[in-house]
Every structure is written in C-alpha cells, then in structure tokens.
Amino acid sequence: MTAPDPRPQALLTVRDLRTYFHTDAGIARAVDGVSFDVMPRETIGIVGESGCGKSVTSLSIMRLIRPPGVIEAGSRVELEGRNLLELPEHEMRRIRGNRVAMIFQEPMTSLNPVFTVGEQIAEVARVHANASRREAWDRAVEMLQLTGIPSPAERAKEYPHQLSGGMRQRVMIAMALMMNPSLLIADEPTTALDVTIQAQILELLQQIQERFAMSIILITHDLGVIAEMAQRVLVMYAGEIVERASVGDLFAHPHHPYTEGLLAAMPTLGAARTRLAVIPGTVPAPTRWPPGCRFHDRCPHAWERPEREHPPLFEVGPSHWSRCFLAEEPDRRRVITRSEDRVGETR
Amino acid sequence: MTLASWLVPLAVAIVATAAISRAWASAGTNGGPWGTAFNRLRRNRGGMLALGFILFVAAVALLARLLAPFDPNHQLDIVALASRPPSLAYPFGTDIYSRDVLSRVVYGARISLSIALLAVAVSITVGTTYGAIAGYIGGRTDAIMMRVIDALLSIPRILILLAILALWGRVSLGALVLILGLTGWFGTSRLVRAQVLALKAEDMVLAAHALGARGRRILLRHILPGVTSTIVVAATLGIGNVITLEAGLSFLGVGVRQPTASWGNIISDASANYAGLWWISLFPGLAIVLTVMAFNIVGDALRDALDPREIQPA
C-alpha cells in the first residue's frame, strides 16, 4: 500500500499551457508555457499588465479561444482529473457555465440588451439542467436574491440598461452561480465599477465562495484587490508566470523585479505625496518576445546573462518561485532609490 | 357601391393606426428595447401618416369586392363606354376595352400588394438565412458565400427578371412571387452577414459561450435579435421596391398578365395614347407612387426608431 499523497488534490491543474495566435504578422505567443494548480476553495490571483496573457489564460481554460488562436499540443488543463483540452466540444459545453463559470469585466456588454436579466439568468438552467421555464425563473430569482439585489423578483423583469453597473455585475454573478460551479473565473470583475461598488462586489464574491465552496481564479491588474481576496498569486509577464507566491510572501518579499515594479506602482494611503513609480516601457509585442529574460529591457537590475539566457522558475523560498537569475546571483540586485521622483514634499 | 362605402377602409385605417399607436405607447413603458423603439416611432408624425396610408391601401385591397363598382374584368359596353374620361359614374374613367378603371385599380391593389409582400417574405427569409450562416461560420465558407453574392449582385436585377420571364413565357402569380423573391435577397444577405459578423465579436456572445450555450442557441437568441431591426427596415424598403419592379414588369407585359389587373399593367392599357387617355395611366400611377412613398417613409422612420445606437440607452 502506498502512502497517501499528503497534499490535497488540486481542483484545476494547468501544465505547460501554450496558446499561440497564428497571425499574418507572425506567431503571437500570448500564453507561453504556463503551469499552476488551483486547490479546492482557494482563491488564486493572476496579476499583470494589459497584454501579458492573463485573459488568454482564462479563456484557454474555458477553451474559448477563437481562430487564429490555437491551444498548442502538449498543453494540459485538468479539472477534477479530466483533461479539458481533450474533451469533445459537446462535453466541453457541459463544463462551461456548469462546472466552471466565468464573469467578465464589462457586465453591460456581456448581457443581452433585448432580454430581461431574469430570462438571461434562467437560460443557464434551461441549457444545463433542462429546467422548465417556471423552475428556471424561480431559481434565477433565488440567485439574484443571493447576490444581494433588493426586490429580486421585480428586478428580474428589468432589462440590463435599467440596472446600475454594480447590479449588472451581480446579475453576471447570479448567472455564474446558477449551476453551482466548482470553479469561478473572474476576469477583472470590478475594473469597470466605482470603488465603493467594487468593495461590495468583492465582499459578495467572498461570501458566495464560502457558501458554494468554490475556487476562484481572480484576474486583475489591481494588487489591492489581490491582497484582499487571494491566498496565492501568479504574476504574469509576456505570456509567462514570472513569480508565484502566497499573498503574504509576495507583498513582504517580492523577488522578481517586475513584481517589485508593480508593488512600487501601487498608491499608498497616507504616504508622502510622491509621484507614482512607473515601470518604464511597455509589454513588448507578443510576436517578438525578447530573447533571454523577457523583462530584461525594462529591468533596472539587468546584466548580460538575462539578455542571452531565458531564466527558469527558481524556488526562492518555501512555495515561492521567481523567474529571475537574481535567485542565483543576488549580489546583482541594485538598490533603487526613488528620491529623484519625489515631488511636492515641501508643499 | 356608393361613395359612403369608402368610409369603411378609411375608418379601418384610422382605427388600426390609433390602436397600433396605443399599443406601442404602452409597450414603451416596460423598458424593453423594442417597446422603447416603437414608442419613438409612434411619435414620428410622417411615419405614422404613411403607416395609416398603407393600412388604408391594405383595407381597400381586402375590401375590393365591396368597394369596386364593377367587375374589374367586365367590358361594360365596348361600343358606348370605351375610353371614357372620369365622370360621376366612372370616377377614374374607363379603358379602351370599356372596363372601369377604378375597379381595376382597387383589384390591382390586391395583386400588387400581395405580390410585393410575399416576394419580400421570400427574399428576407432566404437572405437572412444565407447571411446569418455566412457571418456566423465565417472563414472560408463566408468568403466563398460572399463571392457568390458579389457575382449575383453584379447582374442588374431587372435583366435577370426580364430574361427569366421572357424565356418562361406566361407565368403564374405564384411563380412571379418566387422569381421576384429569389432575385431580391442578395443585398439583404450582405446586410445581415455584416451585422452578424459584428455581433459575433461582442462580449455577450463570448459570455453566452462561457455559460455553455450551443452555437444554434447563440445564433438564435443572442445574434439574430440584434439583426431584427436591420431586417425590418430592409423588408419595409424592399416592399416599395418590389411594387415598383412588379409594376415595371407588368407594364412591359412580362409580369402580371391581362386580364388580371395589376397597377403596372393598367398603365400599359393606355399605351395607344398616353396623353389622350391620361386617366388610364394617372390613377394606377398615383397608387404606385403614393404606396411606394408610404413604404419608404415608414422604412426610414423605422430606421430612425430602431437605430441601434439609440436602442439601448446606456
């Protein structure tokens, strides 16, 4: 008898996920060898700038990549032990919205303007559970209630444009919850909302996660949201994971220079009035990732080695990984002063 | 048979227009995008007037038996009553065969309107299906399907029609409807395809996919409703277009054949002497112009009311 695996079984296992877009301008390697696990009931955050591959990663998990995008052979996405990438399309349809649900950044454009929100929420149960109109509607109202919408039975009869942005996002969440999924992918769920509404929606996500025992993949470029919600973080840059750590570790001891840059760029309440730090430059075009370390041309510490050699993920602490040669050559790390950036202190 | 009987279609048109207006007003209060659009249409005076006129013409067509003073094909008296100018007894005059022109125009409304309606129904159905399939599948299928449309659109419709009808000889009304319908859908399919292509890229379609909806459901529930306004406008303008086409073909003698009256072939009854027999061509001509104009005005009003930029107030 073999010893039982001491680690709990992962809900979702992503291994060497590569999603390439075969365009006329060349092959865009939008997601290029991403691996991670999502544990049951865990919230995992994915952060990074626009164009770093966060959204393509989530769409790849759902297999919603459209041509010319292709999930390359050898990639694996296992949900509850089944490789989703090998399922026939009709079985994959039974997973979407049922075992894995997704909510998007802009709830207005994600909702159909010509149907009431109740009809749209109910549609999920009609697609997946073959529910009768009546049952589906009742469940839709129940879900709306759960998301904290006042007088849900009346609201269900309204059209998307009659609701506020926060309420629309609650509607999207209600749709996602209809079939009690084990994994919820939230792609920038609060980016389009006011700050006050944002806090409400995040709190709602936490409540329903507890209640439905779901795992959440939270995609955002807002580290503040990550700090509030997630247990573990993946930092993505140029189609790769550059740092993977628990939230506490990441904020206390960021290792990768890109992560440092992101943290430095966060505004802090009560700090001296300083110009926000920025990471110079932009994410390079996905058709032409730089050779070597993909961040080297924007990195304040870069030397010759990352220009030539592509760094693997180094374990820099317990369950803390970083794709940076500084793990092997820590003396190369320079002290970055930001004194020259300070403005307005004397005011 | 008296003047008073004309009050019936007039009353029908007024009552129906008022009822439609009322229905649209109440539809506007539930907040749905269609209700909002029709409520906007309701406030367009010109559009509602034109709609009222169309309803009037439709009522006349339906009540032709009641309104026409004579059998439209009956020659009253080929010696005494041929080519009489308008008078109290024959308000639109009589034609060279001594048939009552008013009766022919009234019965002609039946033929001209029903041919136009049915032909547009055919062309909209075919065009929408073809365009939706091309747009939704996309890729090479779309490219091939659209090159076919380009080829078909490069031939003037009137030439195709004349060629078919001249070769066919005498066609039944059903065949005429089919021929008009099947030559009229190319433009519609292009419009629908463009719209489907745009809607396919919308977040809401991605969201529907993410919820596990299948392609057919997405096409029917999330894409086609967005195309409906385009279709409604194209259909309305198409009816006016087909009325003109049918009139032209009938005038040329290859559309609706004698003795059956259609607005187009009544005009050609005056071909011996248009100036001298002005009443034979004037009244059916007016019927064509006013009806086509009404359809175009309603089509424009619909286009304004259903403008997608206004259909979903943010």
Judge whether residue A151 has pLDDT over 50: yes
Is-contact A214 A182, C-beta < 8 A?
A: yes
Predicted confidence band at A50 (pLDDT cuts at 50, 70, 90)? confident
Judge whether residue B184 has pLDDT over 70: yes
CA distance B182 to B176: 10
State the alpha helices, DSSP H only, in A73-178.
Answer: 89-95, 107-110, 117-128, 133-146, 152-155, 165-177
Instruction: Provide the β-strand partners of residue A36.
Output: A14
pLDDT at residue B229 in the model? 85
Q: Quick one: how many helices (H) and strands (E) in chain B?
A: 15, 0
CA distance A48 to A258: 9
Nearest CA in chain A to B203: A110
Strand order from edge to edge, sheet including A215-220:
A100-103, A183-187, A215-220, A43-47, A232-237, A240-246, A320-322, A314-317
Is the N-terminal amide bond of B225 cis, ω within 30° of 0?
no
Question: Beta-carbon neighbour count of residue B309 at 10 Å?
Answer: 7
Query: How far off is chain B from A17, nearest CA to CA, in Å?
Result: 19
CA distance B306 to B232: 9
Q: Where is average pLDDT lowest: A4-13, A226-235, A252-261, B157-166?
A: A4-13
Contacts of B117 (CB under 8 A, 6+ apart): B239
Element (H, E) at A220: strand A215-220
Judge whether residue B76 has pLDDT over 70: yes
> Percent of chain A scored above 70 by pLDDT?
92
Q: Which of A295, A286, A310, A293 is nearest to A29 (CA)?
A: A286
Query: How far off is chain A from B212, nearest CA to CA, in Å?
Result: 5
Average pLDDT, chain A: 86
Reported pTM = 0.79
Please compute the mean of the pLDDT values over residues B229-242 and round it to a whole number: 91
Digit-coded pLDDT (tens) for B189-225: 999 999 999 888 888 888 888 888 888 888 888 888 8
pLDDT at residue A271 in the model? 62
Judge whether residue B6 has pLDDT over 90: no
One-letter amino acid at A273 equals R
Residue of B36, B141, B204, B232 to mutate when probing chain A, most A C-beta within 10 A: B204
Question: Beta-carbon neighbour count of residue B251 at 10 Å?
Answer: 22
Q: Do A116 and B207 touch (CB under 8 A)?
A: no
CA distance A91 to A88: 6
Residue of A87, A103, A154, A159 to mutate when probing chain B, most B C-beta within 10 A: A159
Instruction: Provide the β-strand partners of residue A243.
Output: A235, A322
CA distance B25 to A196: 38
Taking the Cβ of residue B211 and every Cβ of chain A, the question of whether any pair is shorter than 8 Å is answered with yes
State the alpha helices, DSSP H only, in chain B.
Answer: 7-27, 33-42, 45-62, 64-67, 101-137, 139-153, 157-168, 173-182, 186-200, 203-210, 215-217, 224-251, 263-268, 278-305, 308-311
CA distance A274 to A347: 11
Contact residues, chain B, for A106 at CB < 8 Å = 203
CA distance A73 to A338: 45
Query: If DSSP codes are grouped into helix, strand and coil, which group holds residue B307?
Result: coil
For residue A240, give Cα distances in angstroms to A16, A31, A52, A104, A138.
Answer: 10, 6, 8, 22, 43
Per-position DSSP letters for A314-333, written without gaps between them: EEEETTEEE--GGGT-GGGP
CA distance A13 to A120: 31
The partner residue sitting opposite B312, judged by closest CB among A93, A127, A161, is A161
Paired sense of beta strands A82-83 and A320-322, if any: unpaired
Taking the Cβ of residue B126 and every Cβ of chain A, the question of whether any pair is shorter than 8 Å is answered with no
> Percent of chain B scored above 70 by pLDDT?
96
Taking the Cβ of residue B1 and every Cβ of chain A, the question of whether any pair is shorter than 8 Å is answered with no
For residue A282, give Cα distances in angstroms to A295, B61, B284.
Answer: 10, 69, 70
- For residue A146, give both structure tokens: 């759960």
Predicted confidence band at A347 (pLDDT cuts at 50, 70, 90)? very low
Is-contact A75 A85, C-beta < 8 A?
A: yes
Please compute the mean of the pLDDT values over residues B239-253 and round it to a whole number: 92
Q: Do A109 and B203 touch (CB under 8 A)?
A: yes
Local structure of residue B94 (DSSP, 8 states): B
Higher pLDDT, A110 or B121: B121
Digit-coded pLDDT (tens) for A121-134: 998 888 888 888 88
Digit-coded pLDDT (tens) for A181-222: 999 999 988 888 888 888 888 999 999 999 889 999 999 988
pLDDT at residue A301 in the model? 86
Taking the Cβ of residue A87 and every Cβ of chain B, the question of whether any pair is shorter than 8 Å is answered with no
The partner residue sitting opposite A93, judged by closest CB among B214, B221, B312, is B214
Question: Beta-carbon neighbour count of residue B295 at 10 Å?
Answer: 27
One-letter amino acid at B133 equals I
Q: What radius of gyration, in Å, describes the C-alpha atoms of chain B?
A: 23
Judge whether residue A345 has pLDDT over 70: no
pLDDT at residue B239 in the model? 94
Query: If DSSP codes are grouped into helix, strand and coil, which group holds residue A12?
Result: strand
CA distance B90 to A285: 81
The partner residue sitting opposite B222, judged by closest CB among A112, A128, A159, is A112
Query: How far off is chain B from A96, nearest CA to CA, in Å?
Result: 5
Judge whether residue A6 has pLDDT over 60: no
Question: Beta-carbon neighbour count of residue B156 at 10 Å?
Answer: 9
Q: Where are the beta strands (DSSP E) in A3-117?
A: 12-23, 26-38, 43-47, 69-71, 76-79, 82-83, 100-103
